[in-house]
């Protein structure tokens, strides 16, 4: 549960059982990520426009690599259900989420050509290559643990900000992640994680030797999200 500046209590959306377990195992970095100053600035409109645009340009590149990482999840899938869920996420990233970036930047006079030639910040390289590497050297679960903080973290942030009467400045961004479509995507990914863990690790996954390694991957990706916001703020 979270309390907004208006005193309204908002419950955190529930995306899945094992996602909840992973998040509960790293509450400190998870808070640093979902309640970062960048996020507060999006809500109250105090985030400088230049920092937002710098972040968006980096995030456009981030999303191209992130789409590749989800495509790798198709490769690492065990069955058609997993392939369907991973390919739906690839589609949502490329066709829906990246359009937000293209739209906002176009309104600011930044073309898609310019977006695609953005030079990657080291924090961007660190995060995207960490996730891709989790998939290259690990299995489907390693990859999902590294992918989850990104998808669900933004879902949680979007839902919380939209319910907190945010300033209008970053409404388009907030509404994208608070939208029914994005929230449904988070639940689908939550279900994908629950089914894959149960299939591979059984019903007492927390007691298996793999468990801590998966929690560590989730934590590292969460820490890399914090560094990504920080990179954005320094614009």
Q: Site residues (CB under 6 A) for ligand HMH?
A: 59, 62-63, 97, 150-151, 154, 225, 228
Per the annotation, the verdict on 225 as an active-site residue is: yes
Which residues, in sequence order, are bridge partners of residue 2?
10
Pick the catalytic residue: 26, 105, 150, 215?
150
- Residue closer to ligand HMH by CB (options 154, 211) is 154
Pick the catalytic residue: 82, 156, 223, 225?
225
CB of 228 to ligand HMH, least distance (A): 4
CB of 95 to ligand HMH, least distance (A): 13
Give the pair of three-digit tokens for residue 56: 């968006």
- Residue closer to ligand HMH by CB (options 72, 150) is 150
CA 28 – CA 139 distance, rounded (Å): 27
Per the annotation, the verdict on 150 as an active-site residue is: yes
CB of 63 to ligand HMH, least distance (A): 6
Residues annotated as catalytic (active site), given as ranges: 150, 225
């Amino acid at each position: 549960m979270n309390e907004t500046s208006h005193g309204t209590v908002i419950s955190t959306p529930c995306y899945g059982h094992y996602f909840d377990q992973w998040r509960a195992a790293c509450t400190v970095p998870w808070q640093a990520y979902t309640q970062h100053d960048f996020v507060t600035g999006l809500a109250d409109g105090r985030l400088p426009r230049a920092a937002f645009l710098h972040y968006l340009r980096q995030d456009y590149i981030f999303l191209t690599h992130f789409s590749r990482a989800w495509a790798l999840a198709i490769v690492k899938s065990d069955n058609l259900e997993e392939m369907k869920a991973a390919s739906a996420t690839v589609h949502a990233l490329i066709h829906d989420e990246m359009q937000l970036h293209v739209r906002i930047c176009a309104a600011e006079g930044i073309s898609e050509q310019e977006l695609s030639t953005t030079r990657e910040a080291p924090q961007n390289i660190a995060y995207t290559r960490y996730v891709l590497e989790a998939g290259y050297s690990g299995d489907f679960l390693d990859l999902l643990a590294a992918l989850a903080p990104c998808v669900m973290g933004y879902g949680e942030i979007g839902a919380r900000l939209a319910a907190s009467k945010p300033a209008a400045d970053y409404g388009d961004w907030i509404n994208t992640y608070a939208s029914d479509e994005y929230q449904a995507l988070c639940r689908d990914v939550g279900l994908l994680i629950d089914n894959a863990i149960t299939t591979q690790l059984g019903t007492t996954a927390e007691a298996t030797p793999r468990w801590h390694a998966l929690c560590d991957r989730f934590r590292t990706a969460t820490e890399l999200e914090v560094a990504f916001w920080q990179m954005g703020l320094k614009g």
